Structure 1
Amino acid sequence: MPTSHPSGWAHADGALNQLRPGGPSWLSEPTDPNELVPLLWSDTARKVDGVLSVGGVRLLDVVAQEGSPAYVLDEVDFRGRARAFKEAFAAYDVFYAGKAFLSTTTVRWLAEEGLNLDVCSGGELTVAERAGFPMERVGFHGNNKTEGELARALELGVGRIIVDSFHEIDRLERLTSELDRTTRVMVRVTAGVEAHTHEYIATAHEDQKFGFSITSGDALDAVRRVHDAPGLDLLGLHSHIGSQIFDSSGFEVAARRVLALHARVSEEIGVAMPEMDLGGGFGIAYTTQDDPAEPSDLAAQMSEIVAHECRALGIDEPRLSIEPGRAIVGPAMCTVYTVGTVKDVALDGGARRTYVSVDGGMSDNIRTALYDADYSATLANRASAAAPRLARVVGKHCEAGDILVKDEFLPADVAPGDLVAVPGTGAYCRSMASNYNHALRPPVIAVRDGKISVVLRRETVDDLLATDVGA
């Protein structure tokens, strides 16, 4: 897919034409376009007479009460996935990725389910604080934490700070001395492993901004610096190979290299680090081409990898941490939109494409435009007897690349006023949402047992203009 145009891939010559008028090879025409594919939806999603409900609440009723677009969060599904990782990785510490989606409500759910929380900014840390989350279960990531953020983390007593540069080690050493505090520290390392994922979300290869290189020797130097600093308690090494990962193969190489460094630290520096974080970034099903692994399978595979490598090195196994990433909240949320216009466009060779325009777009889900991500969709407000037609769901923004779902079969009679729902929008959609074109960010509505509760309210025009000093 072209990526060279400064305004995004969709502006490059021929980009839109390369989005396959006949649809991608993995997308099969359904016998009944009204049916849900269970793999793509949260556990409580159902259709009755064509009307989609989640958590026992019809999306028709969500829109009637809260408007559209709206993110709909399945509390039972969210808690169930959190619990599944907690139980499968019982010998590990499981850290939820705050950057995927964060609110005080979901933070409290995580606390109740016994998970830890990973944050990567002062703002995310503040949400955890406001929610009353146990600070000893917080890990603080980030490649450029400010002095203010580090000082606040020290004052709150976060459980671990993952250092990412020599400058950060210097700052922490000085701040712990000034504040008379100590803090537990993990050293983020790059293992030279690139997961099979999009270039922008593969984070363990050498040429990127995160971590200390193992191969260059920087990682060992960083560990030595942390060990020698009086206010820093060296906890272990941290590795993260990417995101949207479907199997454990990449972890095998990364674990071998990180554990080799772990053993080397013991031999050369004389310290046995008690813990290690293998990251995660496990994948979810956005479309039928995705095949995510079960937490129990991932746990068994990763545990065997670590046990094998530790036996080969003749070392004790450190206590392990993982970070499931989007795998908890991603499938637990869908987004519901109202259709505004439908148009058929003639293409070269006599083909036609149906554009279904909805009342949201790249301001509430930037991932298609940013990562060339694939999504699915379904008609949510009624049953249709019409034949399936290949459609593209697009937003209302003034951008050619404002595409939400590149290819999906919807009933041929989809029309203005219909509701269209997109699954798998829990991760990196609301958290990356913007006010582009001065759009108002949608609410997050939790549903459970037939009841609706507002997690994040819809923005208002007053919110939009609150920082405009001339308004």
Structure 2
Amino acid sequence: MTHEAGWAHAPGALRGPSWLQPPGDANALVPQLWSSTARKVHGDLVVGGIAVADLVANHNTPAYVLDETDFRRRARAFREAFAADAGWDVYYAGKAFLCTTVARWIAEEGLSLDVCSSGELTVALRAGFDPARIGYHGNNKTLPELRRAVAAGVGRIIVDSFAEIERLSSAASDIGSTARVMVRVTAGVEAHTHEYIATAHEDQKFGFSITSGDALDAVRRVHEADGLELLGLHSHIGSQIFDSSGFEVAARRVLALHARVSDELGVTMPEMDLGGGFGIAYTTQDDPSEPAQLAIEMSKIVEHECRSLGVAEPRLSIEPGRAIVGPSMCTVYTVGTVKAVTLDGGAVRTYVSVDGGMSDNIRTALYDADYSCTLANRASEAPPVLSRVVGKHCEAGDIIVKDEFLPADLAPGDLVAVPGTGAYCRSMASNYNHALRPPVIAVRDGVATVVLRRETEDDLLATDVGA
């Protein structure tokens, strides 16, 4: 007799998280998890007008597939929602994913660029990005790095410590130039996110505390330092945030400090940055806001607080990274092993091992992140089975997708694609177990372009001086 609740009460069945339900059609895509051009055609995943199976035939796996049309649409949506003529600037957060091609796309779409290392600055300058439209982050920028940024004409440098203020003043004076500066502050807001990516509570490495008075002291020192031009305050409350409530609390506290600087120091700072951290949909439980809605809500927050404080609204900026590139990329793997493991109580977990893993997506292991996936190279009429997609590395925690329904006939040689991998996956990729980092292949209107090639064993040996 069949139980009316189906799979969940079948003998030996595993129950996944409550939000994950067996699909009516295991071949269908969940549109909000994928880039805008992704679709299934007779079971084959097609992105940018190209079947993923054809990309794999030419470029092998694992591979990151970047939907250029989708990336540009998302960049444009932020630019248009947070319009310059409405007093906003949009800085793409390069740490999410950056290469010279992406830097050029960002410039062409009219966005500015945020970098947080000398390497990211190198990529931006190599791409010909206007340094005046670059912001430079980092909690431990060295004197040579600061000298380089000032000499290059970087448009704003976000200082993060008292020592850095001294270093930057020294660098600017040595070069005979002026550095435009924002002061990063912590507003004491605990964003609803993973501990490691919540960045506005007091007990963490970034910024100056508003509560302790360090933030006001930092502003005073920047204002008084030689070679520094004070632009304003910078606040970032975390990552993967889905509503504006955290921004509201942070804006209230940061704007209160903004007003206090005006009252006590007689300085009207012209700018303010509210950071990024806008979330994306990794699974069906995620419900991100559209840029237009975020712009309306955040503008209202700032307008209300400035009116209450009796201060003029500063020019505002935000720093979306994940929200632009995250959904624009998927990662494609080849299945090597499908293993059914019997657990205590007789339940069976299906492990799907692929040819990548934590070296190309560390987020599941690092943040306990959730992902989805789909069979990418054919249609299947087999029933869906709750599965776990794992990598090939020598770690029990080498998990890519903790729980997802995949067809029961999934077999070695099949392709599995994971959406939402544009942010931080390639940026945080490693050579663990001497893995070769995958290529990034941009697709658009039926044309594929390698923007980052696959690493080779010669690349691995290039830094091995004993080879």
Fold match by TM threshold 0.5:
yes
CA distance in 2: counterparts of 1:398 and 1:102, whole angstroms: 29
C-alpha displacement of 1:183? 1.1
- Counterpart of 1:152, as a letter, is R
1:351 aligns to 2:347 (yes or no): yes
Structure 1 position 325, deviation (Å): 2.7
Q: Which residue of 2 aligns with 1:22?
A: 15
Aligned residues: 452
- Map 1:73-84 to 2 at 5 A: 73-84=66-77
Alignment partner, residue 63 of structure 1:
56
Give the equivalent residue in structure 1 for 2:310: 314
Alpha-carbon distance in structure 1 between the residues aligned to 2:144 and 2:376:
46
Q: Which runs of 4+ in 1 moved over 4 A?
A: none
Assess if the C-alpha contact under 8 Å between 1:147 and 1:171 holds in 2: yes
Structure 2 residues without counterparts, runs of 5 or longer: 1-12
Partners of 1:422 and 1:175 in 2: CA distance: 45
State the partner residue of 2:154: 158
Report the CA distance between 1:348 and its aligned residue.
1.4
- In 2, the alpha carbon distance for the partners of 1:308 and 1:349 equals 58
Q: Give the drift of 1:21.
A: 3.7
Q: 20-29 or 445-454, which moves further after superposition?
A: 20-29
Distance 2:289 2:172 in 1: 42
Is residue 192–residue 206 contact of structure 1 (8 Å, CA) maintained in 2? yes
Provide the TM-score with structure 1 as the length reference.
0.95
Report what 1:423 is aligned to. 419
Instruction: Give RMSD over aligned pairs.
Output: 0.7
- Is 1:251 matched up with 2:244? no
Q: Which residue matches 2:218?
A: 222
- How big is the shift at 1:332? 0.2
Q: Distance in 2 between matches of 1:178 and 1:346?
A: 67
One-letter amino acid of the counterpart of residue 115, structure 1: L
Give the structure 2 partner of residue 293 of structure 1: 289
Aligned equivalent of 1:267:
263
Report the Cα distance in structure 1 between the residues aligned to 2:291 and 2:174, rounded to whole angstroms.
Answer: 43
Deviations 1:413-442 (A, max 9, x none): 000000000000000000000000000000
How big is each residue's C-alpha offset from its partner over 1:200-222, in whole Å with a ceiling of 9 and x where there is no partner? 00000000000000010000000
Matched, 1:401 2:394: no
Q: 1:373 & 1:409 partners in 2: Cα distance?
A: 17
Matches within 5 A, 1:326-345: 326-345=322-341
Q: Aligned letter for 2:230?
A: L
Alpha-carbon distance in 2 for matches of 1:464, 1:156:
31
8 A Cα contact 1:364 1:434, kept in partner: yes
- Residues 22-45 of structure 1: per-residue CA shift (max 9 Å, x gap): 110000100111000000000000
Q: Distance in 2 between the 1:284 and 1:352 partners?
A: 31
Paired residues of 1:255 and 1:305 also in contact (CA < 8 A): yes
CA distance in 2, matches of 1:466, 1:262: 50
1:350 CA drift (Å): 1.4
Deviations 1:256-315 (A, max 9, x none): 000000000000000100000001210000000000000000000000000000010011
Which residue matches 1:305?
Answer: 301
Find the counterpart in structure 2 of residue 198 from structure 1: 194
Corresponding residue to 2:31 among 38, 59, 66: 38
Correspondence for 1:360: 356
Distance 1:187 1:247 in 2: 25
Indicate the residue corresponding to 1:129 in structure 2. Answer: 125
Q: Determine which of 377, 381, 387 is the counterpart of 1:385.
A: 381
Q: Partners of 1:276 and 1:29 in 2: how far apart?
A: 46
Conserved 8 A contact 1:104-1:127:
yes
| Contact 1:243/1:325 (<8 A) preserved | no
Q: Percent identity?
A: 81
Q: Does 1:51 align with 2:44?
A: yes
Query: What is the aligned partner in structure 1 of residue 100 from structure 2?
Result: 104
Provide the rounded CA distance (Å) in 1 between the counterparts of 2:429 and 2:194: 20
Q: 1:115 aligns with which of 111, 119, 129?
A: 111
1:138 aligns with 2:134: yes
Instruction: Tell me by how many angstroms 1:177 deviates.
Output: 1.0
The yes-or-no answer on 1:369 pairing with 2:362 is no
What's the offset of the Cα at 1:346? 0.3
Aligned to 2:79: 86
3-state SS of paired residue (1:153): helix
Deviations 1:88-118 (A, max 9, x none): 0003110111100000000000000000100
Q: Give yes or no for contact 1:163–1:186 (8 Å, CA) kept in 2.
A: yes
Mapped to 2, the partners of 1:218 and 1:356 lie a distance apart of 51
Displacement of 1:194: 0.9
SS in 2 for 1:30: coil
Unpaired segments ≥5 residues, structure 1: 1-19
TM-score by length of 2: 0.96
Contact residue 195 and residue 202 of structure 1 kept, 8 A: yes
The C-alpha deviation readout for 1:152-183, integer Å capped at 9, x for no partner, is: 10110000000000000000111111110101
Question: Does structure 1 residue 459 correspond to structure 2 residue 455?
Answer: yes
Q: CA deviation at 1:230?
A: 2.3
Aligned equivalent of 1:8: none
TM-aligned CA deviation for residue 324 of structure 1? 1.4
Deviation string, structure 1 residues 123-179 (Cα, Å, up to 9, x no partner): 000000000001000000000001111111011000000000000000011111111
Question: How many angstroms apart in 2 are the aligned matches of 1:453 and 1:325?
Answer: 22
CA distance in 2, matches of 1:28, 1:46: 21
The separation in 2 between residues aligned to 1:178 and 1:365, in whole angstroms, is 42
**Letter of the structure 2 residue corresponding to residue 364 of structure 1:** D
Q: What is the match of residue 7 of structure 2?
A: none
1:240 corresponds to which residue? Answer: 236
Mapped contact 1:195–1:250 kept (Cα < 8 A): yes
Partners of 1:280 and 1:146 lie apart in 2 by 24
Q: What is the distance in 2 between the residues matched to 1:173 and 1:46?
A: 53
Structure 2 CA distance, aligned partners of 1:189 and 1:140?
A: 15
SS of equivalent to 2:320: strand
Aligned to 1:125, the other structure's residue is in SS state helix
Question: Which whole-Å CA distance do the structure 2 matches of 1:28 and 1:119 have between them?
Answer: 40
